[in-house]
Amino acid sequence: MIIESTTIQLLQVVFLALKPTERWRAVRHPFNASSAAEGWLTVFAMVALIIAVILMIWLTAKRRRSEDIIKRKIDELTAANEKLQQEIDKLGQQKPAEVSEQMPSEELDESEEPVAIQKG
């Protein structure tokens, strides 16, 4: 409230201090840089904004590529899983005798003795 009234009064004083030609110039070109530092600040802000937009686009593209790679891997694993499931189903449908013939026996021969593995 106090700041608003002070700001308005300050603007009125500045406006009244200008000559009529200066007022018209100020009205026609409200965004003129009053100092060189202001111009450089504007240029810096624009460059920073452009760099930020470029980085955002680059990161979005990178994320999409990584998502596509992950989707392809999931599809490959799904296909492999389906193949394995079909093989399991085929083995389950075969007669138990056929399965035992196909699978190597894991029993030890009577002549063989178990070998102990030494750690160390």
Using CA atoms, how far apart are residues 76 and 69, in angstroms rounded to an integer? 11
Q: How confident is the model at residue 94 (pLDDT cuts 50, 70, 90)?
A: confident
- The total domain count for the chain is 1
Weakest-pLDDT range from 40-49, 93-102, 111-120: 111-120
Is residue 116 scored above 90 in pLDDT?
no
- Could you tell me if residue 82 is inside a domain? yes
- Could you tell me if residue 58 is inside a domain? yes
Q: How confident is the model at residue 103 (pLDDT cuts 50, 70, 90)?
A: low
**CA angle, residues 20, 17, 41, in degrees to nearest 5:** 95
More confident residue, 8 or 115: 8
Question: Which value, to the nearest 10 degrees, does the dihedral of the CA atoms of residues 5, 8, 9, 10 take?
Answer: 120
Residue-by-residue DSSP string for 12-40: HHHHHHS-HHHHHHHHH-TT--SSHHHHH
- Could you tell me if residue 46 is inside a domain? yes
Task: List the domain range (segments joined by +) for residue 25.
Answer: 8-92
* pLDDT for position 98: 59
Could you tell me if 114 and 108 are in contact, meaning their C-beta atoms sit under 8 angstroms apart?
yes
* pLDDT for position 101: 62
- Could you tell me if residue 112 is inside a domain? no
- Could you tell me if residue 27 is inside a domain? yes
**% pLDDT > 90, the chain:** 37
- Could you tell me if residue 86 is inside a domain? yes
Summarised one tens digit per residue, pLDDT across range 28-72 is: 665 555 666 777 888 899 999 999 999 999 999 999 999 999 999
- Could you tell me if residue 13 is inside a domain? yes
The phi, psi pair for 51, rounded to 5°, reads -65, -40
H helices of 29-114, in order, are 36-93, 96-102
